[in-house]
Amino acid sequence: MKVRTTITALMVSAAILISAVQLAVPFKLSPTVIRGDGVGYYSWLRSAMIDGDFDFENEFQYYDDILPESARPLASRLLEQSRTSTGLVPNHWPVGPALMWLPFVLTAHGFVAITGADPTGYGLPYQLAVAIGSATYGLAGLWLLFCILRRYFNAEASLLAVATTWGASSLTGYMYYMPSMSHACSFFSVSLVIYLWVRLREDSRPIRFFWLAATCGLAVITRLQDALLGIFLATAWLNVWRASPRRPIAASAALGSITLGGLLACLPQLVAWQALNGAPLPGDYAGSGFDWRAPHLFEILFAPRYGLLTSTPMFALGLAGLIWFWPRDRQLTAILGMIFLGQVWLLSAFSYYHGGAAFGPRYFVSALPLVTFGLASVYDRLASKLGRWCPMSIVAALVAWNYLLLALYGLNLIPRGGPMSWELFWEGLDRLMNRLSG
């Protein structure tokens, strides 16, 4: 027991140290870590807390003024669009990240008040609060995944799978280098949904359905695409219906808990939309739309900069590994597969499928918990067949590839937006090698 506690403490300490080193980087590269879509997410919190309203004109204008033209947020373009029916500047980003950052930002606000600094909501303490908040949620999501994986695999396979998810995917970029985006918060909420669902199969009291539905609601108001997590709720309810000897009573109690938990979690978003748009409905997403024939499927999977299988090959490994996870938990594997295929179809139908100036397939960060089970299956199988060196070598190669892409992206050696070819990738790699060689 003492050895396990020591190992856990070392793991947590190493994760915090690695996180602290990486968190320092964006503060040296930009006037503010709150940029891009993060302006829209953070403005919900800053405007309500500092100004006491949902008038985002001053927030959007502030970030438009201080950020260089290449990094100006999409939010600034909304200043030029027509106002909502309430006369306010539209904000089509959901409120979930702002709610999740709230404890960290309130702490920063208290610190500013104690020190007598100007509580503008823009300064370094507020930026640190958002950055630390996103990193904390990312690490918490990884820990939850590790706890779930230990139910199926040994510690080594579980740890390697979590390390791959952490270091060999876009999650790294959005935990540390672009922390004001929603992706680290989304990753945590999806991981928590899976954790609660697994626990609920062991204890199906109504209160557990409430918390599962509330977490699903939090995931939805963080990234709307995560509404597909409703499959977990439906499956949990069906499990109770099939297993309980008192079906009508148990199923009704579960359904009531699901409804209450989901509505309470989504209530902040509905209230925010009502105040901003004059109705509890979202506004237009910057002119974007969907073509349900999914015309961008090839780009989603194979584009050089953001293709799921090309820019982040751990997805290919994890998806293949779900075949080996199937005998361990068929129901969970089926749910993971359905949600993943649903996300692929949804995002390949989206006109903004490329994610703008995205690092890797950022829309699929919330799908990372789904493929981590496949990664653990692969590592467990390879270790038993070929020895421990094999999965460790794969993890090292995948992490090295991801950080190479992050370096090319961060140093602007490959295009951050728009089309990109493999030729441009190799040119960027050549320029990086020239820099390193002096």
Residue 206 has pLDDT above 70, yes or no: yes
Q: Is residue 326 part of a domain?
A: yes
Note the pLDDT tens digit of each residue in 157-166: 999 999 999 9
Task: Average the pLDDT over 335-359 and give the result.
Answer: 92
8 Å CB contact between 75 and 92 = no
Residue 78 has pLDDT above 80, yes or no: no
> For the chain, what is the domain count?
1
Task: Average the pLDDT over 237-245 and give the result.
Answer: 81
Q: Is residue 310 part of a domain?
A: yes
> Looking at residue 9, what is its pLDDT?
77
8 Å CB contact between 134 and 180 = yes
Note the pLDDT tens digit of each residue in 394-415: 999 999 999 999 999 888 888 8
CA distance 215 to 369: 15
Q: Is residue 254 part of a domain?
A: yes
Q: Is residue 123 part of a domain?
A: no
Q: Which of 140-154, 203-217, 239-253, 324-338 has the lowest mean pLDDT?
A: 239-253
8 Å CB contact between 42 and 180 = yes
Q: Which of 60-74, 129-143, 364-378 has the lowest mean pLDDT?
A: 60-74
Structural domain boundaries, residue 256: 2-26+130-280+294-436
Q: Is residue 81 part of a domain?
A: no
219 membership: H or E segment, kind and range: helix 206-220
| Residue showing tokens 């106002």 | 83
Q: Is residue 286 part of a domain?
A: no
> Looking at residue 29, what is its pLDDT?
81
Q: Is residue 99 part of a domain?
A: no
Q: Rounded to two decimals, what is the model's pTM?
A: 0.95
Q: Is residue 100 part of a domain?
A: no
> Looking at residue 112, what is its pLDDT?
95
> Looking at residue 3, what is its pLDDT?
59
Residues 6+ apart with CB under 8 A from 210: 257, 258, 260, 261
Note the pLDDT tens digit of each residue in 105-157: 999 999 999 998 889 999 999 999 999 999 999 999 999 999 999 999 999 99
